[in-house]
Amino acid sequence: MSTAGRGLHGQVLDTLGPAITAGDYPPGSVLRTDELAQRFDVSRSVMREAVRVLESMHLVESRRRVGVTVRPRAEWNVYDPQVIRWRLAGADRPHQLRSLTVLRSAIEPIAAGLAARNATSEQCAELTRNALGMVANSRGHKLAEYLVHDVAFHRVVLTASGNEMFARLGDVVAEVLTGRTEHEVMFEDPDPAAVTLHVQVAEAVREGDWRRAEDLTREITVGALQELDILAP
Amino acid sequence: MSTAGRGLHGQVLDTLGPAITAGDYPPGSVLRTDELAQRFDVSRSVMREAVRVLESMHLVESRRRVGVTVRPRAEWNVYDPQVIRWRLAGADRPHQLRSLTVLRSAIEPIAAGLAARNATSEQCAELTRNALGMVANSRGHKLAEYLVHDVAFHRVVLTASGNEMFARLGDVVAEVLTGRTEHEVMFEDPDPAAVTLHVQVAEAVREGDWRRAEDLTREITVGALQELDILAP
DNA sequence: GTGACATATAAGTCTGACTTTTTGTTCCTG
DNA sequence: CAGGAACAAAAAGTCAGACTTATATGTCAC
């Protein structure tokens, strides 16, 4: 699912990335390229490439004569999808999930408002299609099908906003929503009120009522935040 | 200022990164590692490291037998500070500036609201200190001094929000504000109304009035958007 | 036209030697 | 004893060359 086996250095990253983001090597820790290369049984060139990637994510800093030092969390590129995946897979998953949900609550209402102004007719159609898909699968433990439409819905909203920065958060939202049904407890069918809200957002966007689209989406994200508070108060 | 000369591969990136983000190599273009290595007069190992970094930014994709292909803009990691800098330095600077300002208008009000709830007393003090610094330098063409406090102010707000995703946007905001005074036309002294708003935000945060902090900050960001519309309608 | 097979190509990997920067120590001088 | 200059060691950085592997594409038989 992730960037995965894209070459040997990718395999190294699949192990080293999660380890660093999980805090196995606390900030300030010093790693040596040669030692790592030995440990992972790869050549130094491959290990150097892996270090370069970690460096570009601001997870580590490589300095001569001292080695590869782990940077403090505050400096990490927390918007890097790869970093997000690593952190979501690790120990501070709850913390990360909260951060991302707060981010959603800031972004999505504005994005929905912009979508109401900029969405094409095809995007409106896809919006209602997915909203209806959510309704159709909102009862009877069809969580998987529901999720597909939920993710698609939010992705369309973000894309239709016309802002590339918003659009790029589609993957993040997808990750959050998917994680919610997979890892988090979600035995019950989704909240009927939330489903209705999605339908109404689709309406508002289609009608170009940006104010209403914004407010309704705010309700959705507030709901997501409350849901988080209930699960992990 | 940027990641800069951090090694030979960094110098290569300083040229290749801006070139790609500027669209010199349109999406789908195919580059060959060996040719690039020759062109930049570096060894293949160095060029490979550079390619790996570009790959981690989702700017390019490296595949066997075909080469290094430039990915479509929609897939770029537009939140990567390095990518942002490259794009701000390039041709679509206005477009990028608008995207980022819209992003600010979504994030900062929420961040200010959270700051009103979570800010420590030291953060409150720094906030008022910077707000007063803005007032002190708001007249008499002391734009440089004004900018320092403006950047610091917004950085503190984002940090004080307690959300790491928000905090990480401090650099982005700094880049936008700095660029506004440097590249964009900003002969005049800053808008007195905006200065007042900053002072009031500091007040609201100190008093824990999150609603007011949010609304006031929204006014600030709306002002920034309008300013953009005036400059590039 | 379709499928199996061969081939060329460019990335991927490994190794070893060498260079450069930086840190920490040593030792000299005031 | 303080301060600084010279030195040595350590680790990343760089390079060159040989080899491996995947894969797009062309070829040939059917």
**Nearest nt (C1') to B37 (CA)?**
D15
In a domain, A155, yes or no: yes
CA B98/CA B192 separation, integer angstroms: 23
In a domain, A99, yes or no: yes
B127 and B46 belong to one structural domain? no
A59 and A104 belong to one structural domain? no
A23 and A104 belong to one structural domain? no
Q: Report how many domains make up chain A.
A: 2
Q: Which amino acid is at B15?
A: T
In whole angstroms, D2 C1' to A65 CA is: 28
- Tokens standing for residue A229: 């508070």
Q: Sign of torsion, CA B223 A166 A96 A146?
A: positive
B158 and B202 belong to one structural domain? yes
Q: At how many degrees (to 10) do helices A81-89 and A93-118 cross?
A: 140
In a domain, A134, yes or no: yes
- What SS3 class is residue A63? strand
In a domain, B85, yes or no: no
Which CATH number is B100's domain given?
1.20.120.530
What residues contact B217, with CB distance under 8 A and at least 6 apart? B108, B109, B111, B112, B113, B157, B197, B201
A31 and A102 belong to one structural domain? no
In a domain, A1, yes or no: no
Closest CA of chain A from B138, distance in Å = 30
A174 and A63 belong to one structural domain? no
A118 and A147 belong to one structural domain? yes
C-beta of residue A77 within 8 angstroms of C-beta of residue A57: yes
B60 and B125 belong to one structural domain? no
C-beta of residue A71 within 8 angstroms of C-beta of residue A20: no
Per-residue pLDDT reduced to its tens digit, B170-184: 999 998 998 887 766
pLDDT at B1 over 80: no
Closest CA of chain A from B70, distance in Å = 17
What is chain B's alpha carbon radius of gyration, rounded to the nearest angstrom?
21
The order of strands in the sheet holding A67-70 is A30-31, A67-70, A60-63
Per-residue pLDDT reduced to its tens digit, A166-213: 999 999 999 899 888 776 666 678 899 999 999 999 999 999 999 999
Region of residue A65 (phi > 0: left; psi between -120 and 50: alpha; otherwise: beta): left
Per-residue pLDDT reduced to its tens digit, B180-199: 877 666 667 889 999 999 99
Per-residue pLDDT reduced to its tens digit, A49-90: 999 999 999 999 999 999 999 999 999 999 999 999 999 999
**Nearest nt (C1') to A68 (CA)?**
D12
pLDDT for the residue numbered B85: 94
B57 and B114 belong to one structural domain? no
Which CATH number is B31's domain given?
1.10.10.10
C-beta of residue B23 within 8 angstroms of C-beta of residue B32: no
pLDDT for the residue numbered B185: 60
What is chain A's alpha carbon radius of gyration, rounded to the nearest angstrom?
21
Residue A112 structural domain: 92-231
In whole angstroms, D18 C1' to A43 CA is: 15
pLDDT at B2 over 60: no
A124 and A170 belong to one structural domain? yes
* Residue keyed to tokens 């007719």: A121
Nearest to B106 among A52, A78, A107 (CB): A107
Does the C-beta of B51 come within 7 A of strand C? yes
Does the C-beta of B31 come within 7 A of strand C? yes
Query: Which residues on neighbouring strands pair with residue B60, listed in sequence order?
Result: B70
Average pLDDT in chain A: 94
B52 and B104 belong to one structural domain? no
